[in-house]
Amino acid sequence: MNMHAQAEFRDQRFYSGGRRLRARLYLTKLPAKAVVLLNGATGVPQGYYTAFAQWLADTQDIICMTYDYRDFGASTKTVKSSDATMADWGVHDQQAARDHLSQMFPDLPLWVIGHSLGGLMLAFQRDLDQIDRVITVASGPVNLSDHPFPYRLTAAAYWFAVGPLATWLAGYMPGKRLRLGEDIPAGVYWQWRRWCSNRGAFMADMGDPLPVPDFGGLKAPLKLVAIADDTLVPPHCVWRVMEFHRRASKSQLTIVPADFGLDHIGHIAPFAARNRAIWPALIA
């Protein structure tokens, strides 16, 4: 018999750099054993993570909060006038979300689950010693040369042809019109482009506009999850995150779709409802 009742959700608002961010909190009916901050990938709205967050609350007794970065998704009024950058999303907004969640549940173990960008920038944040567990999924610094063919050609067009031209003309990255996902602020696109076309990734921005990183700040267990058929952030890029957390106890997992009866997962879809078969392995 299933002893778990349907979890309820509660909408939240908090501020980051004077910007109001919208979030959703998925609450357990039974006493919670932990609380999870789910940091999303670049250009992926929080609603995409609903099924996973609901699963955590319903079946694992884990409270989960999803949210949208500034000037994106439910947290935006107009993307064209935004001055947001990738650093704002990956450092300041993630920090504000974690602060908000830890203030609400100070007595519960705090987990961070980060998808792509969501797990990449922790070393630039503060109070890492207050995190009890980190799970990164398909997260790692990547360069154009890391992508396998033929996807490398698609990435090259996004960074050096279609993407820059469209962003320059529209004043933002018009992902919807280009059928490349959601619209994102121009500042996010340009900094993202710089990091993905530079072999040093975000290292050139350390100190300004990025804070000085704390490579020894995270001491909690860190689980790095790679997706075998991920062409955007292949497994060898995921393992690079270990270099940023030298004092954390680290483990690695590569999810092979066939092992779970799946044909394909890729970069974006680990949290898609159709791939729920892998979810227990993500948090194990």
Residue of 135, 123, 138, 109 lying closest to 247 (CA atoms) = 123
Q: What angle do CA 148, 151, 155 make, to 5 degrees?
A: 110
Given phi > 0 = left and psi -120 to 50 = alpha, else beta, which region is 252?
Answer: beta
Whether 31 has a pLDDT exceeding 70, the answer reads yes
pLDDT at position 6 is 65
pTM: 0.96
Q: What span, in angstroms and rounded, lies between the C-alpha atoms of 121 and 123? A: 6
| Exposure string over 182-206, b if 16+ CB within 10 A, otherwise e | bbbbbbbbbbbbebbeeeebbeebe
- For residue 45, tell me if it sits in a domain: yes
pLDDT at position 1 is 33
Whether 11 has a pLDDT exceeding 60, the answer reads yes
Q: What span, in angstroms and rounded, lies between the C-alpha atoms of 139 and 268? A: 11
Q: What span, in angstroms and rounded, lies between the C-alpha atoms of 108 and 35? A: 6
How confident is the model over 92-97, as a mean pLDDT? 98
Question: What is the amino acid identity at position 188?
Answer: V
- For residue 109, tell me if it sits in a domain: yes
**If pLDDT is split at 50, 70 and 90, which confidence band does 16 have?**
very high
Beta-sheet pairing, 110-115 with 133-137: parallel
Per-residue pLDDT tens digits for 190-246: 999 999 998 888 887 988 889 999 999 999 999 999 999 999 999 999 999 999 999
What is residue 284's DSSP assignment? -
pLDDT at position 261 is 98
- For residue 244, tell me if it sits in a domain: yes
Written as six digits, the tokens of 59 are 């079946």
Q: What span, in angstroms and rounded, lies between the C-alpha atoms of 86 and 107? A: 31
Count of other CB atoms within 10 angstroms of residue 254: 14
Written as six digits, the tokens of 228 are 């075998």
Q: What span, in angstroms and rounded, lies between the C-alpha atoms of 8 and 168? A: 43
Whether 39 has a pLDDT exceeding 60, the answer reads yes
pLDDT at position 76 is 86
pLDDT at position 160 is 97
- Residue 271: which domain range? 8-142+211-283
Least confident span in 33-37, 194-198, 231-235, 265-269: 194-198
Give the three-class secondary structure for 13.
strand
Least confident span in 3-7, 81-85, 88-92, 251-255: 3-7
Where residue 79 sits, what CATH number does that domain have?
3.40.50.1820
Cis peptide bond prior to 209, omega within 30° of 0:
yes
Question: What is the amino acid identity at position 221?
Answer: P
Q: Count how many domains the chain has.
A: 1
Q: What span, in angstroms and rounded, lies between the C-alpha atoms of 232 and 142? A: 8
- For residue 26, tell me if it sits in a domain: yes
Q: What span, in angstroms and rounded, lies between the C-alpha atoms of 62 and 48? A: 18
Q: What percent of the chain has pLDDT over 70?
A: 98
- For residue 173, tell me if it sits in a domain: no
- For residue 57, tell me if it sits in a domain: yes
Per-residue pLDDT tens digits for 162-195: 999 999 999 999 999 999 999 999 999 999 999 9
- For residue 15, tell me if it sits in a domain: yes
Count of other CB atoms within 10 angstroms of residue 281: 12
pLDDT at position 200 is 83
Residue of 183, 207, 197 lying closest to 84 (CA atoms) = 183
* More confident site: 134 or 207: 134
| DSSP per-residue codes, 42-68 | TT--GGGGHHHHHHHHHHH-EEEEEE-
- For residue 118, tell me if it sits in a domain: yes
Q: What span, in angstroms and rounded, lies between the C-alpha atoms of 2 and 83? A: 48
pLDDT at position 5 is 53
